[in-house]
């Protein structure tokens, strides 16, 4: 999981439970909505499309014959790249309208969802995800990204705030179940498959940890965020920061100081805040009981 640091766009969001604010991270797997998509990011998203295609090949019998027009339309969609969000959305929408039963449909839905994420168009992001998950309810890419976004752009004053958290929790739990039962598709090595599973699994735990944080379920949040940060060599500093708050709420000050310190060691907008929080937690830990 790549580190999810803020570059621009959504810079801060409120923490309803703590009254604090912190930098909004971008999502893992090269889908940061707040920065220009670089070559590595595009390769990561294209790899996801390839993996979806491989999974489709594994799960569905081969079509009786190849439609050259369908193949050409999918190639144009694929070649548009993650950096051309509007183009990919248009080509993907046209593709699904013309070939709704295509073996590529699942990967096209997932990529359109990610394109709306890149644009920070949350209305269409949720609408497209709803359509994609209605057709492919076990798609871990769509499950994990929606479950991750909801608690990060959470508005506690919204009428559907509670329902949205329940939805996010359901999606992340289902993603974790699906990942656990997933078999290796053809075309991937054991290492590639393990890395892919680890990335998505870590992201699902991260999203679930934020859901529990929003619900003020501090212990459950810590458990999920520990799994998220342990599954990657480039953890999200926000996960450490929220973990520190969770531990603070439980008066587990030495552990909170450790989480804040790890956050402060990662370059980004949270460094100073995490250093101050670590110092405060250390002071609280040193006080006589």
Any idea where the domains of the chain sit in the sequence? 12-286
Place 48 in a pLDDT band, splitting at 50, 70 and 90. Answer: low
> Does 12-286 carry CATH code 1.25.40.10?
yes
Place 208 in a pLDDT band, splitting at 50, 70 and 90. Answer: very high
- What is the three-class DSSP state of 159? coil
Per-residue pLDDT, 47:
53
Q: How far apart are CA 119 and CA 255, in angstroms?
A: 37
Length of the chain: 289
Per-residue pLDDT, 46:
52
- What is the three-class DSSP state of 7? coil
Mean pLDDT, the chain, whole residue set: 82
Query: Residue range 1-13: average pLDDT?
Result: 25
- Pairing, β 12-14 against β 21-23: antiparallel
Place 115 in a pLDDT band, splitting at 50, 70 and 90. Answer: very high
Query: Has this prediction a pTM greater than 0.95?
Result: no
Tokens (6 digits) for 142 = 């769509």
Per-residue pLDDT, 232:
85
* 124 pLDDT above the threshold of 60: yes
Radius of gyration of the chain from its Cα atoms, rounded to whole angstroms: 20
Q: Using an 8 Å Cβ cutoff, are 204 and 179 in contact?
A: yes
Per-residue pLDDT, 137:
97
Per-residue pLDDT, 274:
97
* 57 pLDDT above the threshold of 90: no
Per-residue pLDDT, 17:
30
């Amino acid at each position: 999981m790549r580190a999810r640091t803020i570059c621009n766009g959504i810079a801060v969001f409120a923490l309803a439970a703590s009254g604090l604010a912190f930098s909004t991270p971008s999502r893992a797997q090269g889908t940061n909505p707040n920065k220009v998509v670089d070559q590595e990011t595009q390769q990561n998203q294209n790899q996801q499309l390839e993996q979806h295609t491989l999974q489709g090949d594994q799960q569905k019998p081969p079509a009786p014959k190849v439609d050259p027009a369908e193949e050409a339309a999918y190639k144009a969609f694929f070649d548009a790249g993650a950096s051309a969000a509007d183009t990919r959305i248009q080509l993907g929408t046209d593709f699904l309208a013309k070939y709704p039963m295509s073996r590529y449909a699942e990967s096209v839905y997932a990529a359109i969802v990610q394109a709306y994420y890149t644009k920070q168009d949350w209305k269409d992001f949720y609408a497209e995800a709803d359509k994609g998950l209605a057709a492919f309810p076990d798609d871990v890419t769509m499950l994990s990204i929606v479950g991750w976004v909801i608690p990060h752009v959470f508005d506690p004053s919204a009428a559907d705030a509670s329902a949205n958290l329940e939805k996010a929790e359901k999606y992340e739990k289902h993603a974790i179940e699906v990942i656990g039962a997933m078999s290796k598709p053809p075309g991937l090595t054991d290492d590639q498959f393990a890395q892919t599973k680890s990335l998505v699994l870590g992201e699902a735990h991260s999203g679930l940890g934020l859901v529990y944080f929003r619900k003020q379920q501090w212990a459950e949040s810590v458990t999920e965020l520990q799994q998220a940060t342990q599954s990657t060599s480039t953890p999200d500093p926000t996960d450490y920061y929220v973990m520190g708050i969770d531990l603070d709420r439980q008066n587990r000050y030495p552990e909170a100081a450790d989480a804040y310190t790890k956050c402060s060691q990662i370059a980004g907008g949270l460094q100073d805040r995490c250093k101050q929080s670590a110092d405060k937690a250390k002071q609280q830990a040193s006080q006589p009981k």
